[in-house]
Amino acid sequence: MQEAHAAAQAVPPRVGHWAPNAYICGTRGITVGRGGRRRGAAGEPRTVTEDRTKGLDVAHIARRVGQFPGYPLANIPRRKRELIAAGVDVIDVGAGDPVEPPPRVASEALTEALRDPAMSKYGFQLGLPAFREAVVRYHQRRFGTAFDPMAEVLPLIGSKEGLAHFALATTNPGDVVIVPEPGYQCYIGGAIASGAEARIAPLRPEADFLIELGELPASVLRRISLVYLNYPNNPTAAIAPRDYLERTVAVCREYGIALAYDNPYVEITYDGYRAPSIFEIEGAREVAVEFHSCSKSFTVTGWRLGWAIGNRELIAALTTVKSYHDTGPFLAVQKAGAALLDHAEDVVAEVRERLTVRRDAAVAALTAAGFEVQSPRATLYLWVPLPEGLKSADFQRMALEEEGVVVMAGSGFGASGEGFFRIALTVGEDRLAEAAERMGRVLARA
């Protein structure tokens, strides 16, 4: 664990080590600024550039667009559609998007809310007070923590946007943001958009995939304004022991670092493990905002509903930023979210039961197929090591093109994810077993 973090390194200006699919959505082929200034139709000056490859004028593209690493899921949906159209029986265990419908309590609440014209109005950042109150009730029941629904909670259009916007609310250009790698992409996205310096903190198996902030030099710690942490972790499925959270919160308090604790998998746990909220840790309220999501716990990924909760100044800052970017989640969805949260225990018990069966089936089938995989205690992912020398992007490509199985290459989560691939427990046991068998064939051929 000692060196785990000593190694946190600055991302070069163009995030060059994000191979292999970096710059998929970058500016290659577009000559920024070459077209010079031209007059727009209304006589306004407008900067245009020329796409050399197509000879078309395109709007001016900001340099930061080229700094975003390629988004790992960017090309998969299109290729999947093509394969299905060609008659391939595709098994998609790539994105964490379960096949199950939303829980009935949620669909019924949403249907009813749609009949109320008030639910079709702008929600603004206030949103539906009933949703804020249901969030607070849930935290009280589940974690024993008390919050002010108006000042310490903020509805989110899914937790992703909140996490990315949080960097805009907490960092100044040039500040350091700690970005775990492999990790969920919106952390580095937020850091880049805010002009901060993203410092990659590798999550290593030998350090139990934990980031030890205390091992960073004080000179670096003083420059950090924001740390993203996510346990139970996507993609590694790692969990954080309580003493780890305590020492992390202590470092954040000592150096005045904002802590974005990303907790969308808090309910997806197995074998009696109960994942904590960061606010169970003393002092966390001084520095932290926790991000929650209805997506995975409640099987409503596309509804786009989550919430931020925690330190009131940080929540106020995030509210200000979001006021200029969006107008909050659909009120009817917030209404349904409130119903879901009031039934959270029942709903997640079912989800957990289903996922436990899948996890066990997938681990057994992958082991039989020749993979060495550990059974996770949380999340809906298996983080599977590949044999030495087999690149995860190659494995991803072969699994899809040769066997019709969508998986996520570890390198898609950043260079430190190389040597692994991720599968999501989003399909039934039979399909998981079939996917494992097909992946075993890829492994045998590679």
Residues interacting with ligand PMP, by CB under 6 A? 96, 158-160, 184, 230, 234, 262, 264, 293, 295, 301, 306
Shortest distance (Å) from residue 292 CB to ligand PMP: 8
Residue bearing tokens 């250009």: 173
234 vs 299, beta carbon nearer ligand PMP:
234
72 or 404: CB nearest ligand PMP: 72
Q: Element (H or E) spanning 224, and its range?
A: strand 224-230
Percent helix, strand, coil in the chain (nearest 5)?
40, 15, 40
Please tell me the distance from the alpha carbon of residue 315 to that of residue 260, in angstroms, as a whole number: 11
What's the one-letter identity of residue 14? R
Cα–Cα distance list, 151 to 12, 129, 385 (Å): 38, 11, 44
Paired tokens of 288: 């932290």
Name which of 265 and 395 has its Cβ closer to ligand PMP: 265
- Cα separation, 90 vs 403, in Å, equals 8
CA distance 304 to 297: 13
Phi-psi region of 70 (alpha: psi -120 to 50; beta: other; left: phi over 0): beta
Give residue 201's Cα distance to chain centre: 16
Q: Which residue lies nearer to ligand PMP by CB, 196 or 260? A: 260
Q: Which is nearer to ligand PMP, 259 or 398 (CB)?
A: 259
CB of 379 to ligand PMP, least distance (A): 8
Structure tokens at 408: 């996520």
Q: Which amino acid is at 374?
A: Q
Q: At 312, which helix (H) or strand (E)?
A: helix 312-323
Distance CA 62, CA 30 (A): 11
End-to-end CA separation in angstroms for the chain: 32
Give the shortest CB-163-to-ligand PMP separation in angstroms: 6
CB of 9 to ligand PMP, least distance (A): 22
Least CB distance from residue 111 to ligand PMP, whole Å? 22
- Residue 355 to residue 337: CA distance in whole angstroms: 22
Return the number of the residue (244 or 261) whose C-beta is nearest ligand PMP: 261
Give the shortest CB-437-to-ligand PMP separation in angstroms.
Answer: 26
3-state secondary structure of 5: helix
Shortest distance in whole angstroms from residue 440 CB to ligand PMP: 26
Burial of 173 per CB tally in 10 Å (0-12, 13-18, 19+): exposed
Give min distance, CB of 97 to ligand PMP, in A.
8
Q: Which is nearer to ligand PMP, 139 or 438 (CB)?
A: 139
**Residue 177: is it exposed, middle or buried by C-beta count within 10 angstroms (0-12/13-18/19+)?**
buried
Residue 209 or 255 with smaller CB distance to ligand PMP: 209
CB of 31 to ligand PMP, least distance (A): 35
- Residue (of 126, 190, 209, 143) closest to 410 by Cα position: 209
Cβ closest to ligand PMP, residue 66 vs residue 162: 162
